[in-house]
Structure 1
Amino acid sequence: MSAVSKGWKIGLVLLLAVAAQASNEPHIGFAYPAGAQQGTSFEMLIGGQYFKGATNVFVSGEGVSVEIQQFSVRYEPRRINNLFNNYENTRASLKEAREKGDAEQIKKLQQRFDRAEEQLRVADAPPGVDRFDRKAMRKFYGYNKKEQFNPQLQDRLRVRVTVAENAPSGERELRVYTPSGLSNPFCFQVGTLEEVREHEPNDDHMKPNLQTVPVPSVINGQVRPGDMDHFRFQAQKGDSIVVDVNARRIIPYLADAVPGWFQAVVALYDEDGNEVAYQDDYKFNPDPVLFFDVPETGTYTLSIRDSIYRGREDFIYRIAIGELPFITSIFPLGARKGERVDIALTGRNLPKSRLTGKLPDDGTDLRHVSVRKEGYRSNPMPFAIGELPEAFEAEPNSSPAEGEPVERPLLINGRIQQQGDRDVYRFYAEAGDSVSVEVIARRLNSPLDSVISLSGPGLEKPVRNDDYVVKDKSHLYLGAGLVTHHADSYLTQNLPESGTYYVEIADAQGNGGHDYGYRLRISKASPDFSLRMEPSGMHIGPGGTAVFTVRASRKDGFREQITLSADELPEGFVMSRAEIAAGSDLARFTITAPKKMAGKLVSPQIIGTAMINGEAIVHTAVPVDDQMQAYLYRHLVPARELVLAPVEKRPPVLFHAKVPKSGIIELVAGRETRISFEGTIIGKQRGYSVKLDHPPEGFSTAKNGWIGKKRIKTKKKDGRDEWHKHEAWGSIMIAVDESIEPGTELSLVVSAEVKRGQEKIYYPAPAIPVKVVESRD
């Protein structure tokens, strides 16, 4: 099956069921290669879990189509022998049963043989290898003794990807669709340079017939256990070569590896095998970028490996090599919306050193700056768009006596110019005033590891902040996304006396330089918030319901309610009532599809609105996915858009709570309350167990509830009970802890559990609005 994704507007996905929360939703561990040149077609291998039954693979944006060619399973090497033994023994037993004419035994053995044959038929193997050739399969599965079997990568999809000539270049998101769900998004890059794929063996950098790659080009490869990959290229004296490695940028976090990503290292060797350049990172980014001014015309060798010689299939990389434009820094790092900008660029092989123009009066708070040279676009640099008045630092300002005077609110664009430098700003405030100081630097690719301090009358000692890190008790970092070195600073303070106060900013390690730019906000406490919602993608069937979680990051003491709503939600789709309660940071809500859908991917925006100082403040929730790093730490990694993928078949159970005319169900603190349901059940199953889905603290399922088909009063002729064909009802008992404060309002999600063998799939009802009340006894 093939399909073309055009702006994520695609035809109906022919799948068996919708799973709002499935125990076996597909998960992509790697895709190799993870990108392609415009106007090319190539074979891609996708590794992960739960790909069986996959019907579609889609890449976001226009101009990329994917055709599934084969599903297979990469078995643990020692299991191959067991599979062959089972296959051969069952075949022999079946033959013997046929000779004896034992019909019952033949039927049992035939079923067992069919299963054994299917297991071998889907065994992963390279093209041309006969899966029923025991010797060939054992050789393939034993080729790398160092590589450990990883069950998280055992399912394989071999697909053909076709990239149109006019496909826009840049990063996309690739997802796999199966009957059980929609996979996580995986980074896929569309480029303009020629692409090559590594040829093994290439461990020895002095090997005479080592693979030669064109310059410029993009090299695709995988680092396996203990592996080192080498490539030769020609360069002319005076060339300014850039080696830009994409590894962690493709797979940001690995749950089962330390430090939680592929830590690539690159080096260059001359014709005599002497190392002439080396790099193991780029500023604070794990992916290295190497700059090399070619001293002599000749042949050079590029090497890539893991820093501690690890390796596995998902250690994939893409290396752009050549005299490519690369921006190392920009200044300023942002500007006020609606204003003219003059951005200075620093880097290698840049066609210009400045970008000028006028910013729009509205739009996002973050854009990206890049330049194009000879058809190749440079690396993008983030550029912030602000709303406050802006200014530039004025040197000298390295001490309180030289402190630059500012009027709040102000956003200052500055640099820590050299090692040991510090910038000081002063402002006047009245007793009882507040101040909020925030650094935006590391989030904008500045290497500055900021530290700020506030001093002045009435403060016994300077108020100081180094890194402002927000995470919950479960080691989930909120709002940080791909930035693991949380180096931006932030503080708020009530000012005890009238007088002059001083804000100082420096690098925590005493570093500095041309690249060490910052944006420093000094204002009165400005209550505000930002929103993250997960997951970034989900299936939804006709009449079905999808559940999402929204987290609020509150700033400058803001604790009020945030009301959530949906924008660009197609007609017939309904979003549940949803608020993040005052003092809370989390809410869950649902989106329910109409019973008849147009069959297009839905990409709504979730909006949060709050009243702050009498003004309605609106922010869009960023779609994210919860990813684990190194066995423990978790990060909310941003996706490009929220995706609701329609599927054709209705869920087996559709139900909703019976809500009174008031629009809210009252739950008594310290008691159990019954919530009743009504709905429909499709198929022969009489009913399903229901329970609270990720209940908030203090709320629990007193006992699993039930949603089942209604019993008809009249009985069948044989006296047995008769049931409605589809109509269903049920209930659940919800317990509320007595510690929950009366007046608390929130939404609860209840899901029906559907079992299919060992698989469990949860189908939620629309979120239920509840209010906790005092006991009337």
Structure 2
Amino acid sequence: MRRLVFGLVLLVVCGPAVAQPPPPGLPSARVQHVFPLGVKAGTSVEVIVTGNDLEEPEKLFFSHPGIRGEYVSPPKDPTPDPKDPKKTVPPPKTNPAGPHKFKVTAAGDVPPGLYDLRFVGKWGASNPRTFAVSDQIEVAEKEPNNDVPEAQKVELGTTVSGVISAPTDVDYTSFTGKKGQRIIVSCLASSIDSKAAPMIEVFDLSGRKLAANRNYHENDALLDVILPADGDYYVRLFQFTYTVGGPDYFYRLSIGTAPWIDAVFPPVVEPGKPTAVTVYGRNLPGGQPADGVTADGRPLEKLIVTVTPPADAVGKLTSLTHVNPTTALQDGFTYALKGPGGVSNPVVIYLAGDKLTVLTAPANTPDAAAVLDGPGEVAGFLARRGDRAWVAFRAKKGEKVALNLAAERIGSNGDFFFSVRDGKDPKRDLSGEQDDDNDTLHPFGFYTRTSDPGPYTFTAPEDGKYYVMVGCRESSYLSGPKAAFRLRLGSLVPDFCAVVMPYSRFYQTGSAAWQGGTQAYHVFAHRADGYTGTLEVAAEGLPAGVTAKPLMIGPAARWGVLVLNVAPGTAPVTSAITVKVTGTDPVGKTLVRSARPASVTWGTQQPDQNIPVVSKLDQSLVLAVRGEKAPFHITADVPNATVKSGMGKEEKVNGPIIVMKQGDKASVPVRVEWATDEKPNVTLTVESMLQQQQNAPVTVGIAGQPTKDKPDVVVNLDARTNAAPGTYTVTLRGLSQVPFQKDPMAKGKGPNLPAEGFSTPITVQVIPTAVVKIAAPTLPGNTLKIGTDGELVVKVDRQHDYAGEIKLKFAPPTGVTGVTADEVTIPAGQGEAKLVLKAASGTKPGAVSNATITATAVYAGKYTITHEAKVSFTVAEEPKKK
């Protein structure tokens, strides 16, 4: 189950409570901690930022334009001594790398939720840290608060930013309430990038424990309590098991009467269509008891509201809450509810891709199954413990029905599975149990594996009725709207989406692009319903002086590296950019999707182990160009590359793209140019495009490594004979050790530090050697009579999704005359045509061996590919006239 996997990832990645050392390399701003962790909309707060490489701060950059972060400069001049005005106090010594103080102001119209905060300074824009905007009172934890007498007193409707500073640290907070009030106590941890796993408890003045909770959602905690009497109450907060603590273990503790949304049903709605949904939660304004529905043993309320989803939300996920990789590939939008006590927690409502059917009554037996009258989606939940959900559909013999079940991917807590059952005998399993999908977008950079089943295509064995039975491993104790699922049935709809992350592999990082250098981003492509097209990835909104050639992710590739080139002398700038991904669907329609920004939340101290890092979706992608000069630049000279065909013919490319047939080889000149006098050696490696790089469609070999004496090397490409046709980008990464002195006033060149750079892209188009297979054609009776026609039916099996027309031409073998056929065309999308063979009067009778049928196709609109098939027959005497 993925929840266990997530916990193990946190344990391995976060490790014990020690400060995480900065990754090796040239300086790049990295934020570790932000405190306090939020601000009330319409107010300002002073925020302290700490991390690595934070010299010369400029500002904080937020993902919402209504939030500003202005640097508060420390005093530079001596100030009067308040005890003796004649004396002065020298300004305090400050560490140029922080901590730094900023004044953060949130406009009054900024919606409550979680946003990205980035530090901007001399060494670029940092990785994002989560920063909250609320409509509550915001205060910082005040020590000492380690016992009841020291409890920090707060009003209801207050959020406390705090830190579990040591493994045995216990933080007490007190509030005053009235009898009958339903108090919500929320403690955000994993949702705000914290390593903490807090436990929260509520006590009355007598020391009686009224409620406790941990792991409400991942490592966040939530409880509610109906106060038994007027008076004071205490919240006790601590790290569960008391084993870890420190500055990485921060939290946001909220105490109040604002609404809390536990679930929305249906969890998925149709885009652009106003829809009535039921909100399940606590302190819902106008809410009614949701009989029998609980969360962590607490009764929930329900409230019917109408939501209006955005109409243009296909391919988008807009969220003001934490989005981890498991839910990151869904489309959806944010919803929140306002009550007398404030605005609720934001939640995501997901978007259907087809007509939606909602299970409004328990469909827990085949007889009670919901019936679909065509392709569509079903939204449901397990109504009672131990339940299954049944959905009925009809299909014709041989019809293929695609099924896709999502539960954990839409935030449900269970491990769901399904099977297709016989409509005549529901106990007869036709598909086998479909369970966990082991696929992931990336094995360690963005780990999307879930406990949901993978996509499954069912082929109906006969005309009739069929059932889909949906179950959950935890159904013995899990039920209700928090055990919701979405099930899609219908034809395959090939599509794609993508995630873009700063190239960091194992560490949290932001952007620090140096003049004459590069900024690289990993792009991970998710192909849905068998999408096999080439994806073109392009950066948009780039500042002047920054350019990027498209990254091409071909059919056999899972990911690639998008490289931005920064021209020498480019002005320093920090700005948000976007990455668009373009592809073509099977009918030729252009599809454009925005890549979803993401980043590493916590890196790993064991980068060689390929352990999945903790990562999340971001709300923006930021590029920062700085005035330092990159130590080297790598140029792939594609126009001067040569391609050697399988027949031994060698040609120069003379263009921006290397075109190779399956089996061809190419050689690309690559040159390294240094901007430093030392010109240290550079080690080149090729960036992978799928997990098993040895199976890549284009294999790459590097002949030698560049040195100051031999800066030119050759990169050899080999298109496999079975390579999936398409366009691919080959990217080289260069690594060198360069002397660097961070302090310009320091003496000497400084220690050697790892420096990396990326080549200009090598774009390779692999074209097939064949796009059809020709079935061996025969004439009726294998005979052509002189003076008559014979129909030769030529059938082709199309390959590599080629759908264009095919021209057929007949040629008799050398020495045979009189046998001819007019050229014919197999229309686009069809599989056969008739060549009409004619034997003219006077044609010599006898055997005709190995006549040639040539099939000519134009691939990708410009590449002519020919195929041949042989046909043998007998030319018979002309029928005698009576």
TM-score by length of 1: 0.74
* 1:242 aligned residue: 184
Letter of the aligned partner of 2:69 in structure 1? S
Letter of the aligned partner of 1:658 in structure 2? D
Higher radius of gyration, 1 or 2? 2
User: Which of 25, 29, 41 is residue 26 of structure 1 equivalent to?
Assistant: 29
Equivalent positions of 1:647-662 (< 5 A) are 647-654=626-633, 656-660=635-639, 661-662=654-655
* 1:615 aligned residue: 589
Q: Is the CA contact 1:658–1:678 (under 8 Å) kept in the aligned structure 2? A: no
* 2:255 aligned residue: 321
**1:301 Cα shift?**
0.6
Matched, 1:491 2:491: no
* 1:293 aligned residue: 226
User: Which of 58, 63, 86 is residue 67 of structure 2 equivalent to?
Assistant: 63
User: In 2 relative to 1, CA 494–594 (structure 1 residues): closer, same or farther, beyond 3 Å?
Assistant: farther
Letter of the aligned partner of 1:603 in structure 2? I
Q: Is the CA contact 1:41–1:160 (under 8 Å) kept in the aligned structure 2? A: no
* 1:719 aligned residue: none
Task: Give distance in 1, aligned partners of 2:371 and 2:537.
Answer: 40
**1:572 Cα shift?**
6.0
Task: Give distance in 1, aligned partners of 2:665 and 2:393.
Answer: 55
**1:469 Cα shift?**
4.1
The CA deviation string for residues 544-598 of structure 1, in whole angstroms up to 9 with x for no partner, is: 4322221122233333322223444467643213221112211222223456558
Task: Give distance in 1, aligned partners of 2:461 and 2:126.
Answer: 53
The CA deviation string for residues 456-490 of structure 1, in whole angstroms up to 9 with x for no partner, is: 3898654322333423784555446xxxx645664
Task: Give distance in 1, aligned partners of 2:121 and 2:249.
Answer: 25
Letter of the aligned partner of 1:438 in structure 2? N
Equivalent positions of 1:682-761 (< 5 A) are 682=675, 684=677, 689=682, 691-692=684-685, 694-695=687-688, 697=693, 698-706=699-707, 730-736=711-717, 745-751=727-733, 753=736, 755=738, 756=740, 757-761=751-755
* 2:832 aligned residue: none
Letter of the aligned partner of 2:731 in structure 1? V
Equivalent positions of 1:259-338 (< 5 A) are 261-282=195-216, 284-309=217-242, 310-338=244-272
* 1:135 aligned residue: none
User: In 2 relative to 1, CA 635–740 (structure 1 residues): closer, same or farther, beyond 3 Å?
Assistant: farther
* 1:361 aligned residue: 311
Q: Is the CA contact 1:406–1:427 (under 8 Å) kept in the aligned structure 2? A: yes
* 1:371 aligned residue: 337
User: In 2 relative to 1, CA 759–476 (structure 1 residues): closer, same or farther, beyond 3 Å?
Assistant: closer
What is the number of equivalent residue pairs in this alignment? 645
**1:275 Cα shift?**
1.1
Task: Give distance in 2, aligned partners of 1:589 and 1:574.
Answer: 11
Letter of the aligned partner of 1:382 in structure 2? V
Q: Is the CA contact 2:142–2:152 (under 8 Å) kept in the aligned structure 1? A: yes
* 2:780 aligned residue: none
SS at match of 2:176: strand
**1:162 Cα shift?**
2.7
> Kindly, what percent of the aligned residue pairs are identical?
22
Mean Cα deviation higher: 570-579 or 412-421: 570-579
User: In 2 relative to 1, CA 686–439 (structure 1 residues): closer, same or farther, beyond 3 Å?
Assistant: closer
User: In 2 relative to 1, CA 180–164 (structure 1 residues): closer, same or farther, beyond 3 Å?
Assistant: closer
* 1:557 aligned residue: 530
SS at match of 1:464: coil
- Which stretches in structure 1 are left out of the alignment for 5+ residues? 1-19, 72-126, 133-152, 253-260, 709-728
Matched, 1:388 2:351: no
Task: Give distance in 1, aligned partners of 2:458 and 2:580.
Answer: 32
Mean Cα deviation higher: 220-229 or 616-625: 616-625
The CA deviation string for residues 363-414 of structure 1, in whole angstroms up to 9 with x for no partner, is: 3331011112347321111111223111222545322333332133211122
Task: Give distance in 1, aligned partners of 2:718 and 2:636.
Answer: 21
Q: Is the CA contact 1:567–1:607 (under 8 Å) kept in the aligned structure 2? A: no
Letter of the aligned partner of 2:497 in structure 1? S
Q: Is the CA contact 1:532–1:621 (under 8 Å) kept in the aligned structure 2? A: yes
* 2:134 aligned residue: 191
SS at match of 1:526: coil
User: In 2 relative to 1, CA 69–375 (structure 1 residues): closer, same or farther, beyond 3 Å?
Assistant: farther
User: Which of 476, 484, 487 is residue 520 of structure 1 equivalent to?
Assistant: 487
**1:327 Cα shift?**
1.2
Q: Is the CA contact 1:57–1:68 (under 8 Å) kept in the aligned structure 2? A: no
Letter of the aligned partner of 1:414 in structure 2? G
User: Which of 656, 669, 675 is residue 663 of structure 1 equivalent to?
Assistant: 656
Q: Is the CA contact 2:420–2:468 (under 8 Å) kept in the aligned structure 1? A: yes
Task: Give distance in 2, aligned partners of 1:489 and 1:737.
Answer: 33
Mean Cα deviation higher: 639-648 or 650-659: 650-659
User: In 2 relative to 1, CA 461–164 (structure 1 residues): closer, same or farther, beyond 3 Å?
Assistant: closer
Q: Is the CA contact 1:443–1:488 (under 8 Å) kept in the aligned structure 2? A: no
User: Which of 437, 446, 453 is residue 403 of structure 2 equivalent to?
Assistant: 437
Matched, 1:344 2:278: yes
Task: Give distance in 1, aligned partners of 2:721 and 2:597.
Answer: 30
SS at match of 1:704: coil
Letter of the aligned partner of 1:518 in structure 2? F
Mean Cα deviation higher: 226-235 or 546-555: 546-555
The CA deviation string for residues 230-268 of structure 1, in whole angstroms up to 9 with x for no partner, is: 11111111111001111111116xxxxxxxx31110001
**1:643 Cα shift?**
1.2
SS at match of 1:249: helix
Matched, 1:210 2:151: yes
Matched, 1:468 2:437: yes
Matched, 1:44 2:47: yes
Q: Is the CA contact 1:268–1:300 (under 8 Å) kept in the aligned structure 2? A: yes
Task: Give distance in 2, aligned partners of 1:176 and 1:658.
Answer: 37
Letter of the aligned partner of 2:682 in structure 1? S
* 2:161 aligned residue: 220
Matched, 1:534 2:501: yes
* 2:14 aligned residue: none
Letter of the aligned partner of 1:734 in structure 2? V
- Which stretches in structure 2 are left out of the alignment for 5+ residues? 1-22, 76-88, 287-302, 317-330, 504-509, 640-653, 694-698, 741-750, 769-882
Task: Give distance in 2, aligned partners of 1:556 and 1:773.
Answer: 24
Letter of the aligned partner of 1:732 in structure 2? V
SS at match of 2:638: coil
Mean Cα deviation higher: 505-514 or 21-30: 21-30
Matched, 1:589 2:548: no
SS at match of 2:224: strand
SS at match of 1:304: strand
**1:355 Cα shift?**
2.5
Letter of the aligned partner of 1:285 in structure 2? E
| Higher normalized contact order (CA 8 Å, seq sep 6+, divided by chain length) | 1
**1:655 Cα shift?**
5.3
Task: Give distance in 1, aligned partners of 2:252 and 2:96.
Answer: 23
* 2:865 aligned residue: none
User: Which of 606, 613, 617 is residue 634 of structure 1 equivalent to?
Assistant: 613
Task: Give distance in 1, aligned partners of 2:44 and 2:458.
Answer: 58
**1:509 Cα shift?**
1.6
User: In 2 relative to 1, CA 354–593 (structure 1 residues): closer, same or farther, beyond 3 Å?
Assistant: farther
Task: Give distance in 2, aligned partners of 1:627 and 1:333.
Answer: 27
The CA deviation string for residues 662-716 of structure 1, in whole angstroms up to 9 with x for no partner, is: 222479979893514486x5565567636235355342433222578xxxxxxxx
Mean Cα deviation higher: 399-408 or 546-555: 399-408
Task: Give distance in 2, aligned partners of 1:357 and 1:262.
Answer: 34
